[in-house]
Each structure stands twice: as C-alpha cells, then as structure tokens.
C-alpha cells in the first residue's frame, strides 16, 4: 500500500467501524458501509482553444442496513458527526418499515475476500491542467494536419481521475483499494469538396497508467484516418450477406451477451438465454471470459461491491454457455453462488456488472477475415438500440465499408443490419487475433456468416 492509501484506509476504516457499531446498537442485524473519495480533472480543446474545463473532488459514504430480511440504503456527502449519526438512525428506521425479502442479506462471512493482490490499478502520476490542455491540443493538431480534407473538429478531450474506495461490513471484512484512469480522445471532421459531403469519426486511448496511454500524435492520426476513409459513403441495396464487425463494434455484441447472462435478467425471465446454461450456443472456437483480476484492467478490482473476491469467470467455453454473472442476491434467487460480479454506487444496493469481459482471440488477422468475404459488410459504427433482450431480435443502424472480392471497396452509411443474437452467436465463422482492451469490454474482429443488410 502507498502511504496515502494507508492513511485513507485507516481514516475510512475507523469511520466505517463507528457507523457499523452505531447501526448494531440500534438493532440492525447486519450492515455494510461503502466510502468513496476521488478527484477528477477533464478538459476539452476545440480548434486549439479551451472549450471546457471541469474539476471535481468528491467524497461520499453509503450505508446499507438489515433488520432480519428487511433492508434499506442511504448515502451522504456530509461527514460531520451529526450528519452520520442521523444517517444511521434514518436508514435503520426506513429498513424497519419496508417489506421483507427472503433472499436479502449480506453474503456469508466465510465468502469474504481474503487476499488483496496488487492489480496495477493505480498510478500516482498527476498532470497539471496545462499539461492536459497540451495533450488535447497535440491530439487535435495531429488529426487536423493529417490531410487537407480535415476541415473542422468536435474537439479533443483529456481527463484524469484518481480515487479510493473502502468497503466494510459486520462480518469484520475491511477492503480498500485505489485506482486511476487516464484518457485522451479526439473527434475530427473531414469534408469532400467534390461531393460536398462531410464525415466525422474519432479515436481514443484509456489506461490505468499514464505511461501506457497512446501518444497524442498516434491518437490524432488514427482519428484522421478513420474519418477520411468515410468520405464518399453510399447506400447499398437490401441483401443477405456476411458481416464483419471491427473490434469496437464486435465488443457491443459482448455487451448484449453480458445483459443476457446477468442474474437479474435471468431470474426475471427477461433474457433470451434463460434456458441456455450448459447448452451449446456458438462454435467450439468461441470462448468468453470475465476476468476481474486482469492486471491493469479497467474493470479490475480485488473485491466486488459486496466484499467477495473477484475472479476469472468462463462465461462461454468452447461455444457452450457455462456461467451466468451473479451477485449474492441474484445468485440466491437462482439457487447459485455469486461469481464476484456485484457492483454498487454509494448508497445503492448491489447489482450485477462485468469486470473485464472479452472474447478469446483467434488466429486470423483482420485482413485475412476481410479477404475471406466475396461480398459483404465491414461494420465500423452502430447506431440506435434496437435489441430485444427477451427474444434476441437485433436491428441497428450501421455504417462501414462494402467488401467486394476480399477488399474494402467503398464506404457505406444509412443502412440497417438485422438478425437474432442467438443465431448471430451460432453463426460466428472467424475470430481475429487483434484483441485489445480499450475499456472494460473487448473483442477481436469477428465475422458472422450472414445478416440482413437493409439499404435502398
């Protein structure tokens, strides 16, 4: 632990202990306390001028109490003794008044996390506001000077956040960890003088540690490349063809999978995968992990929102759905154990969230995947939220490139792709070798056998 973390840990732990003792003295059978403190600075530069500057320091505390099978949660940002005493009393009064829920309660004491490995979540590097502005300017300049057709910008953003979280409960569990995030992005606009058309796109980098962040110049040049390639976009006629999803779009399919395997969706009967546990739903080369202990991972943490150890969960193995994602409550509803996927905001009850969800990479390069398509669509943007999680029906606006004879022939836009998620996972034909985390969810490029592409 760093010196600052030790200091915060001791202060927050003492505060949490007082809150728990107070709740117990008022008759609570169980309780937990979540304390969070953090700083963030975000700047936006547009055409070299500072367009927005935000700086925040936040500190808040959440309390959850149980009176048997009755529970309530509340939070405050006022850490005065009077305020915290009132918070305990009010939360206890509220808990005694609500209806019983037979599966409510803390996880069992023997399930609490025992180890707190260093997962590389914190970088003490600090940047001044001027340094953040300079990084954003460099990224935007790199984009705007990449080609004469770069005509405008929606801005470049740089942000840094650092924070500490402590969770303590009546089982004697006390866990604390620090984290940091550094991000840089730019969204340029290009114009085509011949057609009069304009296009925008963007690129970004986000990391736990500053030295791992892509350079502003690399981010700007990639944003420009992605924008320029969209100029001259056309529509296509409606047809049924193979569809290749680039990395960014492929991970959206994993997002739908995560919603479908969430314990809450399952026990409510609101998922198209409710009856698929233990069944084959994709080819044998498809494996999906949720890894809460991935080093430097943006979703990593040593313990979840209830104090259980995070873990590497195999959601899908060799095409078979092997696990739902569960917290204690949804697990009890389903007669299963938590997978360490509880997440919570300060003052909120836990819910299920992914950690570092990813599709295991294959061996084919993106170029090889595109080369395998005689005629089809390469998707680089998805628009809208036309997904029915109960049936799996899928329909979203899209843009990208038309593939002809294994080559990207021309950009396309104002089209819709449609299918059903169950069939889409079953029809995965190739997985790329280009897995790269740019967030909590990641996927290589992937090819689906056939989808309806609707255009003219």
Q: Which of 358, 393, 423 is the last residue of a domain?
A: 358
- Contact status, residue 4 vs residue 314, Cβ threshold 8 Å: no
pLDDT at 320: 98
Give yes or no for residue 4 having a pLDDT over 60. no
Q: Which of 358, 382, 404 is the last residue of a domain?
A: 358
pLDDT at 11: 86
Q: Which residues are CB-contacts of 21 (< 8 A; sequence separation ≥ 6)?
A: none
pLDDT at 194: 73
Question: What is the spatial distance between Cα 253 and Cα 153, in angstroms, rounded to a whole number?
Answer: 29
Question: What is the spatial distance between Cα 318 and Cα 133, in angstroms, rounded to a whole number?
Answer: 46
266 and 197 in one domain?
no
Q: Could you read off the pLDDT of 173-215 as tens digits, one per residue?
A: 999 999 999 999 999 999 987 766 899 999 999 999 999 999 9
Q: Using pLDDT thresholds of 50, 70 and 90, give the confidence band for residue 8.
A: low
Closest C-alpha to 173, from 34, 291, 69, 66: 34
Q: Pick 7 or 17 by higher pLDDT.
A: 17
174 and 103 in one domain?
yes
171 and 36 in one domain?
yes
- Contact status, residue 374 vs residue 244, Cβ threshold 8 Å: no
Give yes or no for residue 294 having a pLDDT over 60. yes
Q: H-helix or E-strand containing 86?
A: helix 81-97
Average pLDDT over residues 98-111: 96
203 and 54 in one domain?
yes
341 and 409 in one domain?
no
CATH number for the domain spanning 135: value is: 3.30.2290.10
**DSSP-derived 3-state class of residue 10:** helix
Q: Using pLDDT thresholds of 50, 70 and 90, give the confidence band for residue 422.
A: very high
Q: Could you read off the pLDDT of 307-328 as tens digits, one per residue?
A: 999 999 999 999 999 999 999 9
Residue with tokens 């969430």: 262
CA-based end-to-end distance of the chain = 60
Closest C-alpha to 363, from 263, 445, 260, 437: 445
424 and 290 in one domain?
no
Q: Using pLDDT thresholds of 50, 70 and 90, give the confidence band for residue 7.
A: low
Q: Which of 343, 358, 373 is the last residue of a domain?
A: 358
144 and 289 in one domain?
no
280 and 196 in one domain?
no
Q: Could you read off the pLDDT of 58-97 as tens digits, one per residue?
A: 999 999 999 999 999 999 999 999 999 999 999 999 999 9
- The tokens for 162 are 């650092």
384 and 304 in one domain?
no
80 and 203 in one domain?
yes
Q: What is the pTM of this model?
A: 0.95
Average pLDDT over residues 432-440: 97
Q: Using pLDDT thresholds of 50, 70 and 90, give the confidence band for residue 455.
A: confident
Residue with tokens 């991970």: 251
Q: Which domain holds residue 98?
A: 3-224
Average pLDDT over residues 241-263: 97
Q: Could you read off the pLDDT of 369-398 as tens digits, one per residue?
A: 999 999 999 999 999 888 999 999 999 999
Q: Could you read off the pLDDT of 30-53 as tens digits, one per residue?
A: 999 999 999 999 999 999 999 999
Average pLDDT over residues 1-24: 80
Q: Using pLDDT thresholds of 50, 70 and 90, give the confidence band for residue 1.
A: very low
Domain tally, the chain? 3
374 and 323 in one domain?
no
281 and 220 in one domain?
no
């Amino acid at each position: 632990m760093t010196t600052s973390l030790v200091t915060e840990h001791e202060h927050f732990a003492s505060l949490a202990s007082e809150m728990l003792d107070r709740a117990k003295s008022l008759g609570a059978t169980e309780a937990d306390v979540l304390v969070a403190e953090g700083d963030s600075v975000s700047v936006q530069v547009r055409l070299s001028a500072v367009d927005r500057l935000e700086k925040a320091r936040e500190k808040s505390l959440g309390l959850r109490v149980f009176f048997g099978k009755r529970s309530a949660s509340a939070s405050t940002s006022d850490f005065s003794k009077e305020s915290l005493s009132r918070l305990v009393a009010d939360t206890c009064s509220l808990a005694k008044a609500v209806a019983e829920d037979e599966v409510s309660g803390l996880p069992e004491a023997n399930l609490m996390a025992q180890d707190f490995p260093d997962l590389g979540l914190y970088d003490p590097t600090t940047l001044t506001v001027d340094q953040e502005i300079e990084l954003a300017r460099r990224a935007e300049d790199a984009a705007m000077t990449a080609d004469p057709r770069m005509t405008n910008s929606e801005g470049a953003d740089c942000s840094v956040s650092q924070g500490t979280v402590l969770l303590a409960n009546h089982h004697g569990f006390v866990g604390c960890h620090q984290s940091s995030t550094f991000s840089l992005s730019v969204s340029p606009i290009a114009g085509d003088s011949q057609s009069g058309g304009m296009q925008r796109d963007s690129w970004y980098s986000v990391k736990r540690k500053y030295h791992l962040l892509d350079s502003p110049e690399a981010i700007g040049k990639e944003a420009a490349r992605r924008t320029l390639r969209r100029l001259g976009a056309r529509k296509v006629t409606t047809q049924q063809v193979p569809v290749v999803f680039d990395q960014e779009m492929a991970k959206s399919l994993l997002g739908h999978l995560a919603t479908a395997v969430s314990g809450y969706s399952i026990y409510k009967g609101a998922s198209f995968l409710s009856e698929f546990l233990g069944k084959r739903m994709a080819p044998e080369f498809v494996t999906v992990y949720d890894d809460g202990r991935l080093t430097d991972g943006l979703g990593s943490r040593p313990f979840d929102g209830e104090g259980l150890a995070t873990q590497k969960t195999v959601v899908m193995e060799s095409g078979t759905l092997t696990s739902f994602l569960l917290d204690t409550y949804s697990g009890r509803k389903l007669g299963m154990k938590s997978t360490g996927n509880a997440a919570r905001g300060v003052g909120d009850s836990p819910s299920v969230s992914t950690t570092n969800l990813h599709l295991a990479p294959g061996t084919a390069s993106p170029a090889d995947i595109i080369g395998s398509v005689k005629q089809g669509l390469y998707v680089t943007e998805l628009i809208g939220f036309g997904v029915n999680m109960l049936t799996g029906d899928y329909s979203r606006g899209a843009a990208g490139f038309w593939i002809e004879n294994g080559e990207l022939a021309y950009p396309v836009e104002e089209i819709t792709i449609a299918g059903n998620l169950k069939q889409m996972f079953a029809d995965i034909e190739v997985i790329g070798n280009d897995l790269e985390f740019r967030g909590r969810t990641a996927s290589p490029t992937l090819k689906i056998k056939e989808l309806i592409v609707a255009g003219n």
